[in-house]
Amino acid sequence: VSDFGKKRYLLKDISLDIPNGSMVLLLGGSGSGKTTLVNAVIGYEKADAEIRLNGKDIYRDYGQMKYRIGFVPQKNLIRGNDTVIRTVTDAAELRLPAATSRKERGGKVGEVMDLLGLSAGADGLVCKKSGGQLRRISIAMELVTDPELFVLDEPDSGLDGVIAREIFTKLRGIADSGKIVIVITHTPDRVIDLFDKVIVLARDSGRVGRLAFYGSPDEAKAFFGKETMEGIVMRVNRREEGGDGLADHFVERFARERETAEEEAVS
């Protein structure tokens, strides 16, 4: 991915294969390219790359593929004077294909409301809901389209540990239904047991976001020699940011180890 105004790359050499049913943590320090990668994957910003979802090119037929992708931003974009049911129904009317019948649309709304525990307070005003409930509503607004790929930017922002875990447990269930769930969070260690994979991005000495690791949480801990995800981020953060300044080392090491593994798999 490149910043065309400044003619410099923001991300480079990112190659991933994420199986359906996976819940993936997207990890990296400031400037590592997390937001850029998310925008490229969901189609908001077209990258000089090929991105496929269940074999279909996202960019080639974005008009159809956008219905298969859900994105929940960090901030809740919800009207406070609407009811919960009205909010989710409006999202369904906007996001589902025009050919969707009213009955089918209503069924999807009800299914998502039940899944996220919103049905009991469906007629309550959004402005009266707690932070955790607001996050669930935001998730419901995207999940109502039954996306194959679901991306969330800090779904636990501002939430205490108990409520955050409830949210992530719901996301784990969504992944277990066969979807790909990708999450950015600044407090990953309290829920790391719910993730299958970790993507670690690092800003190299050329100030470009690179892939420093992709694998299971336990593999990540062994690779970086750290027992926490926050510790891993500090390994690749620059020294002026309080980190170890080892981004180049881990980017190059991961590339070498991946290449060796691929060669051994072929031979």
Phi-psi domain of 178 (left: phi exceeds 0; alpha: psi -120 through 50; beta: other) = left
The whole-number pLDDT of residue 141 equals: 94
10-residue mean pLDDT series, the chain (267 residues): 61 95 96 94 91 94 90 84 95 89 94 92 93 91 94 89 92 96 96 98 95 98 98 96 96 96 84
Nearest in space to 140 (alpha carbons), one of 191, 182, 80, 90: 90
| Residue 215 bridge partners (DSSP) | 198
Tell me how far apart the alpha carbons of residues 7 and 239 are, in angstroms, rounded to a whole number: 26
Looking up tokens 């649309």 gives 105
Q: Which two tokens stand for residue 246?
A: 């080892």
Can you tell me whether residue 185 is helix, strand or coil?
coil
Can you state the angle between helices 102-115 and 84-95, rounded to 10 degrees?
130
Tell me how far apart the alpha carbons of residues 156 and 154 are, in angstroms, rounded to a whole number: 5
The whole-number pLDDT of residue 263 equals: 86
Q: With respect to CATH, is domain 2-266 assigned 3.40.50.300?
A: yes
- CA angle, 81 then 84 then 87, to 5°: 75
Tell me how far apart the alpha carbons of residues 11 and 26 are, in angstroms, rounded to a whole number: 14
The whole-number pLDDT of residue 7 equals: 59
